[in-house]
Chain A
Amino acid sequence: MSFLLRCPQCGPRDVYEFRWSGEQSRRPEPGSSLETWTRYLYLRRNEAGSQQEWWYHRAGCQRWFLAVRDTRLNQVSRTFWPSDESPPTEEKTAPSDAEGPRV
């Protein structure tokens, strides 16, 4: 994996500067069923095609952004700030993270 990724702040940079944080998914409403939570926490769509994912520019501006990437070709068609996502949501669309930002 050696592709270039366009950080909305810093421009195209080597992918090794970034942390990949998995496909974006919506956090369940409080009080959701165990199955819904399990699906959110542990199951991934694992799209063979375009998906929207979280990236973090670790070795650069240290900001989170979203990217639309074709997982078959590693081609990134769009990168943008989460705040530019339309329509804007009042409560945050909770991002899911395959690994979770592990601490």
Chain B
Amino acid sequence: MSAERLPSHLTQRIDRSRTIGFTFAGRPYAGFAGDTVGSALYAAGVRIFSRSFKYHRPRGLLCCRGHCPNCLVNVDGIPNVRACTEPLRDGQRVAPQHAWPSVEWDALAVLDRLHFLFPVGFYYKTFIHPRRLWPTYERVLRACAGLGRITFPGELPGDYERAYLFADVAVVGGGAAGMAAALETARAGASVVLVDDQLDLGGRWQFHTCSLGDEEHRGRAGYEVVRDLAAEVVAEGRIQVLGGATAFGLYEDGLLGILEGNRFVKLRVRQTIVATGGFEYPLAFENNDLPGVMLGTAAQRLEALYGVKPGRGAVVVTSDDRGVEVALDLRAAGVTVAALVDAREEADSPGVAALRDGGTTILRGCTALAARGSGRVASVVVGDFDGRRVSDMTCDLVCIATGFEPAAGLVGQAGGKLRVGDDGRLTPGLLPPGVLVAGEVAGVSGLSAILASGRLAGAEAALALSSSGARLSARISELRDELALRRGRADHRPVSALGSSAKRFVCLCEDVTEKDIRQAVDEGFDHIETLKRYTTVTMGPCQGKMCHRLSIDLCASLTGRSVEETGTTTARPPAQPVPLGALASRFTDPWKLTPMHHQHTEAGAELMDMGPWKRPLGYVRRDENPGDGRGRMSAGVDEECRAVHEAVGLIDVSTLGKLEVVGRDAVAFLDWLHPNRFSDLKPGRVRYRIMCDDAGIILDDGVVARLDEERFLLTTATGTIDAVEQWLTWWLAGTRRCAHVVNVTGALAAINVAGPRSRELLAGLTDVDVSAAALPYLSARPGLVAGVPSTILRIGFVGELGFEIHFPADYGEFMWSALVEAGAPLGVRAFGVEAQRVLRLEKQHLIVSQDTDALTTPFGANLGMLVKLEKPDFVGRDALRSGATRPATEQLVGFELDGATAPGEGAAVVENGHPVGRVTSAKWSAWLGRVIGLAWVPAARARDGATFDVRMDGATARARVVMRPSYDPDGVRLRS
């Protein structure tokens, strides 16, 4: 295996003293510290890394940059990991995906020979008859195609987290331009976050080993220059480097989405410098996807960074001097370069001469026509641009250095437009505000020009941030001159020869060929955006990096339009694939606990979520018999209900929304907001309230206690407090009403004491006279309860005599203990939400938004008597006035059902098999010995004795309408 490794060199990042063991497809392998999974496997002789999406063709390393889909593998259970950028770790289990029995011998490779069955858009063409077989076809096709699979059910390994960062400037890209920009900005006093997606800073200059020709760096190689620059960046205190981090989205007002390992970072900045460089992309020729066909920079990376010899005999295909550099690098690594195939007719240089002298054949005006070989490259057919064969060259490596595109995806996302530059490349034209570009993404080439362009962008960003910029302005004009002087040029020219083979791949992610694109254009999908959608070109995991320009060039030539006219597809986030786990990572939504929470859990409470709160659903006593077979919970609920009916129960209602409305205009404001009237409510009295919007729909209910002439306490349902508070403050905003709304939900705890012995319990603890005469139903008194300053409201949601005590939350535990202790001789028992729901149904008390919906007016819900239409204008008055005169079509009614099984919430009320209504609440009441509930039924059935059918588990059950509560219909107990 070490035969494939090169001698040490300063550019290499591997540490040969540390061997790392891992497995691939179950077999043991070894690499060095600093390797990636891809480089270690390649060094060990592995050439086939994956099988393609559609045809199951063998694929090997192509870009070595984390862009292309060819090396997607499963690492320790996580699918679709790019082997070429995944750092090698001890004990890693690497598995190929989408191949059986192995990537070397994949049974489904037979699909490659059946390609005529899968033309572009074949989903709509080949497998549609007979219709009834489509589901089968689809299942088989889905099983054959695709990429990695997740194990389901079961959780993927990996724990994602989220971070928020803020800085003056973000620099995306840690290459020469990015580092120069970051240093320039930081030195002007700005805070900078530098985001780089590679393992080390330096970008592709890391593997530049030739001496630079320019005067600034004469005699030094690119890797030396960027290494020094990286040291400066790390030493600069104002720069925070996020290494191995991908900026996948650039959004409005300087927000960047970044994936840094398992951390999802949201970075907010004032200026963004995009210095993402560019990437090479492949060339279309027959079998251009064979393992062994590799981008020039990929071969350079393997050599320079990992000391891996990329092949034995190579052919380099190029259209500019970058190919000459690749050929020289290969030769330096001991690879025999059989030929340099150059698209240019002329162009000579010392490099070309050196290659020729070294025995390399130089073929001009030529390009690759086809690669040949079984599973890997054995030879390449070279020819001219008309497709005429010139020569066959034997080789095991074909390096493609023909296409190079600025990585302008982020700029496009932010709203920047691409234009075809002088050099034929697509470069950002108009930039969105707050976004600057530097280096190769801006169309600049040559190290010194790239550095100048980085410094310029850095100075411009600093100027945009500073208030006085005279010094910076001078610096900027100086840098502009420098850039103009050094700006290099690289030509883009189409280098694909004509060809008609079915296996000229444009999109490697989804196996889209040149033929597919030609066919799609013939079928009328000749606009770049429709072409994209029909063929899925640019829509795979590479996000168009490998195929964007190829597809544009092809579309342009097929339609006879220029590249400019053809245009580009819209760039959207993410620029690189992002695991959903990262986006879904841990939100910090808090939940709320009442002051008595721990007493509930100690008493065995089963908790439920209600809005942000945790509430006891019921209390399960471990020492008790499971009961009648309906489970311990229901047995507990029955007993909790019985305690309330026979003795006294306690329920923690601290979660209720509580608002104080205070001020001279408070009463007028409440009259404005409610259909009820409050102006005649005396201090010390309580009234049930409903609140409607201007359409007359019920929004919320609760009570209003008038504590004082100008002071009211409102309660709301647990989940609606925020919305109600906003509704109130919205109606106040900008008016001159003297009313103030204070949310006291968290400040006050509340306990409802209910049951025939509740008065007895309370009387022993308070100085307030709680007798029926002194504190009648619907009244409120301030006073001390167990020594705690409280407000006692005499109200009842459950149908027994009851008192609601509101008091400062700090005394929650103390008050609860005091009531439990004092209540012990009386048979007190804590009850939860489930028991409360049974008890309120016995009284037919509705719950807004459970028993009502977005069409419910007070009239339909039998609350019409609360609506005071004779009041002057209030919210909802006009709608309620017209509603009052219209006969209701549906009505909310109480019902009873024989048997012990309650229908589910939402069960249909049916008539002749058609749904005509629905059950909104239903519970078994052990006290009444039957199922009771609330349901919406046609108005004609809203009378005592009427019956209706409820659909339950496929059958129907006959329900009886009861217009008055089954328990204590006259409210005698409630008022006692």
A→B interface (CB under 8 Å): 1-4, 14, 19, 21, 27-28, 30-32, 34, 37, 40-41, 54, 56, 58, 62-65, 74, 81-83, 85, 90-95, 97, 100-103
Contacts and interface: CB of A to CB of B under 8 A. Distances in A.
Interface in B694-734: 694-695, 699-700, 716, 720, 722-727, 729-731, 733-734
26 contacts: A2-B253, A3-B252, A3-B253, A14-B268, A19-B726, A37-B694, A41-B695, A56-B726, A58-B726, A63-B729, A64-B726, A64-B729, A64-B733, A64-B734, A65-B733, A83-B734, A85-B734, A90-B736, A92-B731, A100-B693, A100-B699, A101-B726, A101-B727, A103-B699, A103-B716, A103-B723
B695 A93 contact: no
A76 B731 CA distance: 23
B723 A101 contact: yes
Contact of B734 (A21, A82, A97): A82
Contacts of B733: 63-65, 81-83, 92, 95
B723 A1 contact: no
Contacts of B872: 30
B251 interface: yes
A56 B253 contact: no
Nearest to B415: A73
B878 interface: yes
A18 to B, nearest CB: 12
A1 B251 CA distance: 8
Given A41-B694, A82-B733, A85-B734, A103 B727 contact: yes
Contacts of A19: 726
Contact of B252 (A1, A31, A81, A90): A1
B255 interface: yes
Contacts of B716: 103
Interface in B247-295: 251-253, 255, 268
A53 to B, nearest CB: 13
A56 B252 contact: no
B407 interface: no
Contact of B878 (A32, A58, A82, A83): A32
Contacts, number: 77
A90 B736 CA distance: 7
Interface of B: 251-253, 255, 268, 691, 693-695, 699-700, 716, 720, 722-727, 729-731, 733-736, 872-873, 877-879, 882
Nearest to A97: B730
B695 A102 contact: no
Given A4-B253, A92-B734, A31 B723 contact: no
Given A41-B695, A92-B731, A102 B723 contact: yes
Contacts of A1: 252
Contacts of B252: 1-3, 74
A96 B693 CA distance: 11
Given A3-B253, A41-B695, A64-B730, A103 B268 contact: no
Contacts of B255: 2
A4 B878 CA distance: 39
Contacts of B691: 103
Contacts of B699: 100, 102-103
Contact of A2 (B251, B727, B734): B251
The CB with the most chain A CB atoms within 10 A, among B268, B726, B731, is that of B726
A94 B730 CA distance: 9
A52 to B, nearest CB: 12
Given A30-B877, A58-B726, 14 more contacts: A2-B255, A30-B873, A31-B878, A32-B878, A37-B694, A54-B730, A64-B726, A83-B733, A92-B735, A94-B731, A100-B693, A101-B723, A103-B691, A103-B724
Contacts of A2: 251-253, 255
B873 A62 contact: no
Nearest to B694: A41
A85 to B, nearest CB: 7
Contact of A21 (B720, B722, B730): B730
Contacts of A56: 726, 730
A36 B409 CA distance: 48
Contacts of B730: 21, 54, 56, 64, 95, 97, 101
Contacts of A54: 730
A54 B873 CA distance: 23
A101 B292 CA distance: 62
Contacts of B729: 62-64
The CB with the most chain A CB atoms within 10 A, among B720, B730, B873, is that of B730
Contacts of B723: 101-103
Nearest to A100: B693
Contacts of A3: 252-253
Complex A-B, nearest 6 residue pairs according to Cβ-Cβ distance, in ascending order: A82-B734, A64-B733, A103-B699, A2-B251, A103-B723, A2-B255
A64 B733 CA distance: 6
A54 B877 CA distance: 23
A24 to B, nearest CB: 10
Contacts of A85: 734
B873 A37 contact: no
Given A2-B253, A4-B253, A103-B699, A34 B882 contact: yes
A40 B720 contact: no
Contact of B879 (A37, A64, A91, A97): A37
Contacts of A101: 723, 726-727, 730
B253 A37 contact: no
Nearest to A66: B734
A73 to B, nearest CB: 9
A2 B252 CA distance: 5
A58 B877 CA distance: 29
Nearest to B723: A103
A90 B735 CA distance: 7
Contact of A81 (B695, B727, B734): B734
A64 B730 CA distance: 6
Nearest to B717: A103
B666 to A, nearest CB: 16
A97 B306 CA distance: 61
Contacts of A90: 736
Nearest to A82: B734
Given A19-B726, A92-B735, A27 B694 contact: yes
B276 to A, nearest CB: 20
Contact of A37 (B722, B725, B726, B878): B878
Nearest to B722: A58
A26 B695 CA distance: 15
Nearest to A37: B878
A103 B882 contact: no
B694 to A, nearest CB: 6
A26 B370 CA distance: 71
The CB with the most chain B CB atoms within 10 A, among A1, A83, A100, A103, is that of A103
Contact of A93 (B253, B700, B722, B734): B734
Contacts of A81: 733-734
Nearest to B877: A30
B851 to A, nearest CB: 15
Contacts of A95: 730, 733
